Structure 1
Amino acid sequence: MDVRQLEYFLAIVDRGGFNRAATALYVSQPSLSQAVRALERDIGTELFHRIGRRAVLTEAGRALIEPARSAVRSLETARASVAAVRELREGRLDIASMPSQAVEPLTTLIRAFSDDHPGVSVAVKAAFTARDVIDMVRTGAVELGLLATAGTVSEKEVAAHVLGRQRFVLVVPPGGSFAGRSALACEELAGQRLIVGQPGTGMRAYVDALREKGVDFTVAAETEHRVALLPLVLAGVGLAVVTDSWREFARQAGTRVLDIEPATTLDIALVSRRGVLSPAAAAFAAAAVESRTTDEAHR
């Protein structure tokens, strides 16, 4: 049994016979009759009594009308839903992002995407390391991922588009360390109390590399929760090394942001599974790459 057969059955019921139904459906009467016979074989009983040129519903035929209409309506609804998703009038897009990149550039990317496709909701999943993001994309938990890495993303597992770079900066409380400064040398972090992320994150890798170079500092706090960074800095617990995606947000919160010299950067990449993407994911990725191209053209 298929929905086309049910549509033919209902056409005969609504038009009062095979001839009128065939005309309305733009099919030949033999083709229509053959489809109805196939439906009757599937059901195991006759749906019409053929009396001359007339077709009179059997008891089984009358019983089929309501479920047939329900099935056809459900298919029409499904077709409309698929069309809406395909045309980006509705739907959902799942994206995994590392915390700092969820501040920027993800905020800007989602804003631009939502302006163009307001009916598509974006669900952001938390991922703390680049490996977490890649695994979530690779296994299909999400369609797209936003990550930061000091090296290139291996494209054996996912497809990657570099969207830009973010440098490391230092967030300090107002009126505290390095007053009146806009930048400092990385060696000046020696002796400071730092708030760091967990192993596997870019900010942790950066401060660990400083320690390996002989810059001795104290870890005042280690946190997986990026929302705790600025409150900890403002409370005087320590200073925080973050990417400059935090710059504007940190300033609005009342902290000061200093560039760390020499500049050390992370590549920001949007990753996806290889192969065909959903319409929403393809549109988001295309807009993200176009945004990077536009930004580079304006520099």
Structure 2
Amino acid sequence: MDIRQLEYFLAVVDRGGFNRAASALYVSQPSLSQAVRALERDLGTELFHRIGRRAVLTEAGRALIEPARAAVRSLEGARASVACVRELRAGRLDVASMPSQAVQPLTSLIRSFAQRHPGVTVSVKAAFTARDVIGAVRTGAAELGLLASAGSVPYTEVCAHVLAEQRFVLVAPPGGPFAGREAVACEELAGQRLIVGQPGTGMRAYVDSLRDQGIDFSMAAETEHRVALLPLVLAGVGLAVVTDSWRDIARRAGADVLDIEPATALSVALISRRGIRSPAAAAFWGMAVPTGTD
């Protein structure tokens, strides 16, 4: 039994005969009759009494009408649902992102995407390291990923495009050790208490590189919860080295934000699986990546 057979069966019921049903369906009458005969063989019973050119429903045929209509409606609903997703009138897009990049540029990207495709829900999945983001995309847990990296990333596993660079900045409490300044030399972090992220992140790698250069600071706190950074700074626990995606939020919260010299930056990249992207993923990618650079 297939949906085409049920559609043919219902056409005979609604049109009152095989000839009229065949004309309505734009198929030959023998083809229509053959399809209905195949359906009867599958069900093991006749659905119509053939009386001359008339087709009179059997009891089994009458019993099939309601479930046949339900099956056809379900298929039409499935087709409509797929069409909505294909045409981006509905659906969902899963994006894996590292925390700082979820602040920016992901916020701006989602805002632009939502303005164009308000029916599509963007679901952001947390990933703490570049390797986590790549793994989520490679395994299909997310269709797209947003990551930042100081060194080379194995992009051979995914398709990637660098969107921007984010330099490191220092977030300090108002009236802190560098009050009134716009920049600080990395050497001046010696003797300071720093709040750091977990190993494996670009922010942590940068702070560790300062120590490797002989800049001796103390570690006031280590946190995987990036949302805790600003409260900890404002509470006077220590200073935090973050990417400048945090600049506006930190300043609005009342913190001081200083550039760290010399400038050091992370590359922010959007990644996806290789091959065909879903309509939503393709639209998001096309919005973020300039034409011709894919």
Residue aligning to 2:32:
32
Q: Please state how far the C-alpha of 1:81 moved relative to its aligned partner.
A: 0.5
Residue aligning to 1:132:
132
Distance across 1 between alignment mates of 2:155 and 2:239: 36
Distance across 2 between alignment mates of 1:147 and 1:36: 57
1:68 corresponds to 2:61: no
Give the secondary-structure state (helix, strand or coil) at the position aligned to 2:289: helix
Q: TM-score, normalised by structure 1?
A: 0.96
Q: Please state how far the C-alpha of 1:152 moved relative to its aligned partner.
A: 3.0
Residue aligning to 2:276:
276
Give the secondary-structure state (helix, strand or coil) at the position aligned to 1:168: strand
Residue aligning to 1:102:
102
Residue aligning to 1:296:
none
Residue aligning to 1:251:
251
Residue aligning to 2:17:
17
Query: Does structure 2 conserve the Cα–Cα contact (< 8 Å) formed by 1:153 and 1:160?
Result: no
1:195 corresponds to 2:195: yes
Distance across 2 between alignment mates of 1:151 and 1:198: 17
Q: Which amino acid is the alignment partner of residue 159 of structure 1? A: C
Q: Please state how far the C-alpha of 1:149 moved relative to its aligned partner.
A: 0.3
Q: Which amino acid is the alignment partner of residue 150 of structure 1? A: A
After superposition, where does 1:1-299 map in structure 2 within 5 Å? Answer: 1-290=1-290
Give the secondary-structure state (helix, strand or coil) at the position aligned to 2:147: strand
Residues 132-185 of structure 1: per-residue CA shift (max 9 Å, x gap):
101011100010010000123322211111101000000000011111110011
Distance across 1 between alignment mates of 2:123 and 2:209: 34
Overall identity of the aligned pairs, in %: 82
Give the secondary-structure state (helix, strand or coil) at the position aligned to 1:290: coil
Q: Which sections of structure 1, spanning at least 5 residues, go unmatched?
A: 294-299
Q: Please state how far the C-alpha of 1:278 moved relative to its aligned partner.
A: 0.3
Residues 258-280 of structure 1: per-residue CA shift (max 9 Å, x gap):
00000000000011111111000
Q: Please state how far the C-alpha of 1:288 moved relative to its aligned partner.
A: 0.8
Q: How many residue pairs were aligned?
A: 292
Distance across 1 between alignment mates of 2:220 and 2:5: 72
Residues 186-217 of structure 1: per-residue CA shift (max 9 Å, x gap):
01100000000000011100000000010000
Q: Which amino acid is the alignment partner of residue 100 of structure 1? A: S
Q: Please state how far the C-alpha of 1:19 moved relative to its aligned partner.
A: 1.0
Query: Does structure 1 conserve the Cα–Cα contact (< 8 Å) formed by 2:172 and 2:240?
Result: yes
Distance across 2 between alignment mates of 1:156 and 1:38: 51
Distance across 2 between alignment mates of 1:52 and 1:153: 75
Distance across 2 between alignment mates of 1:99 and 1:3: 48
Q: Which structure 1 residue ranges, 4+ long, deviate > 2 Å from structure 2?
A: none
Q: Please state how far the C-alpha of 1:23 moved relative to its aligned partner.
A: 1.0
Give the secondary-structure state (helix, strand or coil) at the position aligned to 1:195: strand
Distance across 2 between alignment mates of 1:275 and 1:63: 47
Q: TM-score, normalised by structure 2?
A: 0.98
Q: Which amino acid is the alignment partner of residue 8 of structure 2? A: Y
Residues 232-282 of structure 1: per-residue CA shift (max 9 Å, x gap):
000000000000000001000100100000000000001111111100001
Distance across 2 between alignment mates of 1:60 and 1:14: 16
Distance across 2 between alignment mates of 1:209 and 1:44: 77
Greater mean deviation of Cα atoms: 37-46 or 238-247: 37-46
Give the secondary-structure state (helix, strand or coil) at the position aligned to 1:269: strand
Give the secondary-structure state (helix, strand or coil) at the position aligned to 2:280: helix
Q: Which amino acid is the alignment partner of residue 276 of structure 1? A: I
Distance across 2 between alignment mates of 1:52 and 1:179: 99
CA RMSD of aligned residues (A): 1.0
